[in-house]
Amino acid sequence: MIILAATPIGNLGDASARLVEVLSAATVVAAEDTRVAQRLLAGLGIENRPRLIPLHEHNERERAGELVELARDTDLVVLSDAGMPTVSDPGFPLVEAAAAAGVGVTIIPGPSAVLSALAVSGLPTDRFTFEGFLPRKQGERTAALRALAAEPRTMVFFDSPNRLADSLADLAAVFGADRRAVVCRELTKLFEEVRRGTLAELAEWAAPGVRGEIVVVVAGAPARDADPEAALAQVLALVADGMRLKDAAAEVAEATGLGKRDLYQAALASRR
């Protein structure tokens, strides 16, 4: 089968006993960077020397079929450079192909920069969305942020230290300067830093330059005072466009904070 193996995002002490056990017995490892994989084996004191196959963003779709067939006969361990394979790292096309081919996929749970940053942020964790890296170009980045401006859930982003100041400035411009946010830098490493503030404050802090691995956590949009009549009209408009009433009520309820059942019943009553 295919074994997705989470690896430390900084501190080697976070490697699980199961990860060490599996790597000690592995015969084939698909790694985002084979040099990083070799350093991991050495750092964990593993003497095993499995066959290392490069699996990165430039070749993973081409190699997925070959690796799935390989995994029919032997366990294939999949490593990203740090954290969980498939989450903003190579691995998804491989898992997708394995699922389609009926090849088993299992996981060695472990470190995740997304969940680590969310947990230490102090922002709501009951509902959140992971947005990965924002676009490099400002126009595309601004458009992506505008689509998220009304998102009520806590949002988690990855970012490059070279683009962090620009990203935070754009976040402040689109979401509002006073929206709460947290920048997590070098999580689990020697110079770990968790910087909390408003988007405007964080943009100013990052302007001189920041180093390290970056995760940004941003509070969701505050609840709006929804107009029930306008929301009902929106439900009816969606239904007129062909959406099922139940789905239309759920979509508008999610966007406005109004009760799904209330909108559903109001729409039914309007038809009578």
pLDDT in tens, 26-64: 999 999 999 999 999 999 999 999 999 999 999 999 999
CATH (domain of 197): 3.30.950.10
The structural domain count of the chain equals 3
Q: Are residues 82 and 158 in the same domain?
A: no
CATH (domain of 31): 3.40.1010.10
Q: Are 70 and 30 in contact (CB under 8 A)?
A: no
Across the chain, what does the average pLDDT equal? 94
For 2, the enclosing helix (H) or strand (E) is strand 2-5
% of the chain at pLDDT higher than 70: 99
Asked if the structure places residue 182 within a domain, the reply is: yes
% of the chain at pLDDT higher than 90: 86
Q: Among residues 108, 132, 160, which one ends one of the domains?
A: 108
Given this model, what pLDDT does residue 99 score? 97
Given this model, what pLDDT does residue 196 score? 98
pLDDT in tens, 218-237: 999 987 667 888 889 989 98
Q: Are residues 90 and 132 in the same domain?
A: no
CA-to-CA separations, 106 to 1, 33, 58, 93, 99, in angstroms, rounded: 7, 21, 24, 15, 11
Return the bridge partners of 83, or none: 7
| Spacing of C-alpha 94 from chain mean position | 18
Asked if the structure places residue 14 within a domain, the reply is: yes
Q: Are residues 102 and 133 in the same domain?
A: no
Among candidate residues 26, 6, 25, the one with its CA nearest the CA of residue 15: 6
Given this model, what pLDDT does residue 178 score? 95
Q: Among residues 46, 73, 108, which one ends one of the domains?
A: 108
Given this model, what pLDDT does residue 271 score? 79
Q: Are residues 91 and 62 in the same domain?
A: yes
DSSP letters for 41-68: HHHTT-----EEEE--TTTHHHHHHHHH
Rounded to whole angstroms, the Cα distance separating 198 from 53 reads 44
Given this model, what pLDDT does residue 72 score? 97
pLDDT in tens, 126-143: 999 999 999 999 999 999
Q: Are residues 208 and 118 in the same domain?
A: yes
Q: Are residues 214 and 256 in the same domain?
A: no
Given this model, what pLDDT does residue 20 score? 98
Residue 18 pLDDT exceeds 80: yes
Given this model, what pLDDT does residue 49 score? 96
Given this model, what pLDDT does residue 245 score? 92
Among candidate residues 187, 206, 192, 196, the one with its CA nearest the CA of residue 121: 196
Given this model, what pLDDT does residue 227 score? 82
Residue 79 pLDDT exceeds 90: yes
Q: Among residues 108, 132, 161, which one ends one of the domains?
A: 108
Rounded to whole angstroms, the Cα distance separating 270 from 155 reads 36
Given this model, what pLDDT does residue 40 score? 98
On whether the pTM is more than 0.85, the answer is: no
* Range with the poorest average pLDDT among 123-132, 185-194, 246-255: 246-255
Q: Are residues 258 and 210 in the same domain?
A: no
| Spacing of C-alpha 138 from chain mean position | 21
Domain limits at 79?
2-108
Q: Are residues 211 and 246 in the same domain?
A: no
Q: Are residues 209 and 124 in the same domain?
A: yes
pLDDT in tens, 106-165: 999 999 999 999 999 999 999 999 999 999 999 999 999 999 988 999 999 999 999 999
Given this model, what pLDDT does residue 199 score? 97
Q: Are residues 45 and 8 in the same domain?
A: yes
Given this model, what pLDDT does residue 97 score? 97
Asked if the structure places residue 223 within a domain, the reply is: no
Q: Which two tokens stand for residue 201?
A: 């404050």
Asked if the structure places residue 263 within a domain, the reply is: yes
Q: Are residues 104 and 143 in the same domain?
A: no
Rounded to whole angstroms, the Cα distance separating 215 from 114 reads 7
Ranges assigned E (strand) in 109-235: 128-133, 154-159, 180-185, 193-198, 214-218
Q: Are residues 153 and 172 in the same domain?
A: yes
